[in-house]
Structure 1
Amino acid sequence: MKLTKRLHSCVQLEKDGRVLVIDPGAFSEPDAGLGADALLVTHEHFDHFDEGRVRAALDANPAAQLWTLRSVAEKLAPAYPGRVHTVGHGDAFSAAGFEVQVYGELHAVIHPDIPRITNVGYLVDASVFHPGDALTVPATPVETLMLPVHAPWNKIAEVIDYVREVKPRQTLAIHDAGLTDLILPVYANQIGNLGGAAYERLTAGNATEL
């Protein structure tokens, strides 16, 4: 399976000629969802779900389908009958040849005064886990953890402890649009040295084989 990092939290997976895209949001490239056979969206926040980008992907490929939580599905299902699927914690499904399990229910706490919304994470082919905006620990081993390294709702100590709890073989940084080149080495050093798993940050457009 080939993984290509797109901007911020968007990730593209390719296997056997099929393409799966997770979280094409407003901080990802305008064409982030194009070419997808399947799309997964973790939650409704604009940096993970940009309606225009998802609609463009579904329009470009009439066979493409979307799996997401109810708040996002309700926005798109009427325009794409039979192609938008609502999922939640504990669900499992096949999407364009990828086997996907769903874990998690709520977005991480940003502040006690901000109501929490629904958030789901996706474990793809029992290997790659994308948690969205939460520090969800799947009830199964994870090979590659897509790690949200920087957000209004986390701090680096929590990120390090999350890696320790999940115990993946490797972590790949996501949710990183707010970090500058000046601070990126600090994150790499602290997470890589203290998390207990190999840490890597791919720049947008770069890929790795899993």
Structure 2
Amino acid sequence: MPGRLLETPFDGPLAERLAAPPAEGLNLFWLGQAGFVIDIAGRRIVIDPYLSDSLGEKYRGTPREHIRMMPPPIEPGAIAHIDLVCCTHAHTDHMDPGTLPALLAANPTAKLLAPRAMREQAIQRSGGAEARLVLVDAGEAIDLGRGLSVTATRAAHETLETDAEGHHRFLGYCFGTNDLALWHSGDCIPFDGLVAEVRKLKPQVALLPVNGRQPELSLNGVPGNFTLVEAVDVARAIRAETLVAHHYGLFDFNTIDPSEIDGMASGERALQVMRAREAIAFQWPPT
């Protein structure tokens, strides 16, 4: 399906947009950091939502305070019609105990998808939603109905990590229909085999983190991600048509200047490069 994502700004709160059921086609709404609402094939999926100040409370008064640069664009309980909530791994800005319980309470039929290696963390962070938990490992696919499936891919949050049973601690997810696929890499850096693994899934749209990595952060327990250049290279290599850059603008010690993304976008021709932004609906195909 040829085409590119179309940015459509909207006025008013995000909650007004997400009170309505999901439409057909693809619509994306950024929640900040790596979080998105993905409306695809008439399903509403929320991935890696961080809509609280859990990390600000945890690190208050420490040398590296996690002070939000942007407020949450919506309250967790205000997102309606959710079919699936996905967490790529167990870091708090991706599996948030300040977000998941309210999100699931407001959507009692929604399932929670998480890495099999992170089962206990998912139960705890969700407020005990074990009966609603769907566990997955890299390479596994799940049928979501209406011709939509999700396939888990490996992710290296600086390194590939597995538990004692060999299940991957960090995952990405590719959501696909017969004519459209979207890949959210999770927190990830380049590693051998990544491109070949994802290229088979034929994603037209790639949601990739671009905050990079810094040795001083990595040595202090804050692993990094793709640099912007690496994200562009990966998107090209998997033959995606559009890259949506994210995982920036939340904490000042672990971000990049948005103008860098805009500059990269202006210089690209074959690949559409855009940055996740608030109060924007990203639509495919353009209408």
Fold shared per TM-score above 0.5: yes
Larger relative contact order, structure 1 or 2 (CA cutoff 8 Å, min sep 6): 2
Residues of 1 paired with 2:282 and 2:174: CA distance?
18
Q: Does 1:90 align with 2:160?
A: no
Q: Tell me the CA shift for residue 99 of structure 1.
A: 1.4
Q: Tell me the CA shift for residue 71 of structure 1.
A: 4.7
TM-score (norm 2): 0.62
* 2:31 alignment partner in structure 1: 6
TM-score (norm 1): 0.82
Alpha carbons of structure 1 residues 38 and 202: separation in structure 2 relative to 1, 3 Å: same
The one-character-per-residue Cα deviations of 1:5-62 (angstroms, maximum 9, x if unpaired) are 2211111112465311000125783624732221011011112111221111111122
Alpha carbons of structure 1 residues 193 and 87: separation in structure 2 relative to 1, 3 Å: same
Q: Tell me the CA shift for residue 168 of structure 1.
A: 0.6
2:132 partner letter: R
**Identity among equivalent pairs (%):** 23
DSSP-derived class of the 1:55 partner: helix
* 1:114 alignment partner in structure 2: none
Structural mapping, 1:37-52, within 5 Å: 37-52=83-98
Q: Tell me the CA shift for residue 95 of structure 1.
A: 3.5
Q: Does 1:203 align with 2:270?
A: no
> Which region of structure 1 is more displaced relative to structure 2, 200-209 or 57-66?
200-209
Q: Does 1:160 align with 2:232?
A: yes
DSSP-derived class of the 2:282 partner: strand
Maintained 8 Å contact 1:167/1:196: no
2:210 partner letter: V
Q: Does 1:140 align with 2:201?
A: yes
Q: Tell me the CA shift for residue 119 of structure 1.
A: 0.8
Alignment partner of 2:175 out of 103, 107, 124:
124
> Which region of structure 1 is more displaced relative to structure 2, 24-33 or 36-45?
24-33
Residues of 1 paired with 2:171 and 2:270: CA distance?
25
* 2:105 alignment partner in structure 1: 59
Q: Tell me the CA shift for residue 175 of structure 1.
A: 0.8
Maintained 8 Å contact 2:261/2:275: no
Q: What value does the CA root-mean-square deviation take over the aligned residues?
A: 3.0
2:227 partner letter: K
Maintained 8 Å contact 1:77/1:83: no
Alignment partner of 1:31 out of 60, 66, 75:
75
Residues of 2 paired with 1:121 and 1:85: CA distance?
15
The one-character-per-residue Cα deviations of 1:147-178 (angstroms, maximum 9, x if unpaired) are 21114324333223222322210111211225
How many equivalent pairs are there? 204
Q: Does 1:107 align with 2:146?
A: no
